[in-house]
Amino acid sequence: MANVAVLGAGSWGTALSIVLADNHHEVRLWTHRAEQANDINESHTNKKYLKEVSLPESIVAYTDLKQAVQDVTAVVLVVPTKAIRDVCKQLREVLDHKVTLIHATKGIDPDSLKRVSEIITEEMPSDYYDDVVVLSGPSHAEEVGLRQPTTVTVSSETMKTAELAQDLFINEHFRVYTNPDIVGVELGGALKNIIALGAGISDGLGYGDNAKAALITRGLAEIARLGTSMGSSPLTFAGLTGVGDLIVTCTSQHSRNYRAGYMLGQGQNLEDVLEHMGMVVEGVRTTNAAYKLSKEQGVEMPITHGIEQILFQNAEPKDVVDQLMTRGRRHEMEDLTNVLSD
């Protein structure tokens, strides 16, 4: 069994640590907060981020990054997108051997417009890993922590590295598939958060299931349009990291993006909503990134543009829905065929 460092002790880092501990790996869960490390090591809980789940004793929290990564076989990065570059900078100072480098973060950086694996590749010298592996899919931490059936996908440039990650995580509760389309896997995981904000907004406005089904379906069409324009396979968006993650995030009360959207739909302002959440709502920054990417790639993304207006231009959610509903007429089959032929 392996020694694995998990960097980021939020809800997802903690849930993934449970999966690894169940697979008999020695898990070093790194946090930059001493109080949280004490909570994990003394009471075997992570109260703020994954309450009501008790952690296996083989998960040990560290605040010293050098100690956390000493002699580990794999490093799993699970901090928010905003922190990835900084954590990689710290990691490269202390890592002194080659590891399997995995990330489970879902976002696009609005400044560089880079995917998370691209940021990691920029910051981490290539002699420390073969390829970066992405782990993504429909997987709320709250359910993974309770060992409820969950499926995810791992992806990297080479199948061999993806399979190393698959071996580390797969068990009877947590089924791990591989997919070679790293661009599509990362974009699906990041972009669905925008549509989940929209689904929450729609429910917050009091609209019903028809509206939500429309958002999910037309949201998937625009995710696939941007994804294929950036080199993804359209098929990936029919898989776990595409429609799978879109469904779970748009329909689950666990989703922070959905819940933040709901509060926005009810009329609260963004600053108050984010303060209330106290956990990362990746869709906010990713909306900004996707808005810029859609302009750069010349791809139509009306839902993303509408959500950008609500988040950053003070647009009224109801006006944005009205705008979406009264756009010029479209031919559905033509839209879908364009994605397939891109």
Ligand X SMILES: O=C(CO)COP(=O)(O)O
Query: Residue 25 or residue 115: which is nearer to ligand NAI going by CB?
Result: 115
Query: Residue 196 or residue 293: which is nearer to ligand X going by CB?
Result: 196
CB neighbours (10 Å) of residue 105?
30
Helices (H) and strands (E) in the chain, counts: 16, 8
One-character DSSP codes across 249-290: HHH-TT-HHHHHHHHHHTT--HHHHHHHH-S--HHHHHHHHH
Q: Find the shortest distance in angstroms from Cβ 331 to ligand NAI.
A: 34
Pairing relationship of beta strands 150-155 and 132-136 according to DSSP bridges: antiparallel
Interaction between residue 107 and ligand NAI (CB under 6 A): yes
DSSP lists the bridge partners of residue 77 as 7, 103
Distance, CA of 26 to CA of 24 (rounded, Å): 7
CB neighbours (10 Å) of residue 142?
17
Going by C-alpha positions, the residue among 280, 241, 248 that lies closest to residue 143 is: 248
Interaction between residue 106 and ligand NAI (CB under 6 A): yes
What residue 131 binds from ligand X, ligand NAI, none (CB within 5 to 8 A, per partner kind)?
none
Q: Which residues are catalytic?
A: 192
Residues 237 to 296: which contact ligand NAI by CB under 6 A? 279-280, 282
Query: Residue 220 or residue 240: which is nearer to ligand NAI going by CB?
Result: 240
139 to 158: interface string for ligand NAI, x by CB under 6 A = xxx-----------------
Residues with Cβ < 8 Å from 248, sequence gap 6 or more? 138, 139, 140, 255
| 282 annotated as belonging to a binding site for a ligand | yes
- Which token pair is 90? 């710290």
Residues in the chain: 342
Distance, CA of 123 to CA of 179 (rounded, Å): 24
| 49 annotated as belonging to a binding site for a ligand | yes
Which one of 51-59, 249-257, 268-276, 288-296 is the stretch in contact with ligand X (CB under 6 A)? 249-257
H-run or E-run covering 65: helix 65-69
Burial profile 124-136: b = 16 or more Cβ within 10 angstroms, e = fewer: beeeebbbbbbbb
Q: Find the shortest distance in angstroms from Cβ 109 to ligand NAI.
A: 11
| 32 annotated as belonging to a binding site for a ligand | yes
- Which token pair is 226? 């941007």
Interaction between residue 105 and ligand NAI (CB under 6 A): yes
Interaction between residue 255 and ligand X (CB under 6 A): yes
Residue of 245, 263, 288, 339 that binds ligand X (CB under 6 A): 245
Q: Find the shortest distance in angstroms from Cβ 317 to ligand NAI.
A: 23
CB 134 within 8 A of CB 117: yes
Distance, CA of 193 to CA of 191 (rounded, Å): 5
Q: Find the shortest distance in angstroms from Cβ 104 to ligand NAI.
A: 6
Residues 147 to 206: which contact ligand X by CB under 6 A? 193, 196
Interaction between residue 257 and ligand X (CB under 6 A): yes
| 257 annotated as belonging to a binding site for a ligand | yes
Interaction between residue 249 and ligand X (CB under 6 A): yes
Which residue numbers belong to the known binding site? Answer: 8-13, 32-33, 49, 106, 137, 139, 141, 192, 245, 255-257, 280, 282
Q: Which residues bind ligand X (CB under 6 A)?
A: 106, 138-140, 193, 196, 245, 248-249, 254-257, 282
Q: Which residues bind ligand NAI (CB under 6 A)?
A: 8-13, 31-33, 49, 78-81, 83, 86-87, 104-107, 139-141, 279-280, 282
Which residue numbers belong to the known binding site for NAD(+)? Answer: 8-13, 141, 256
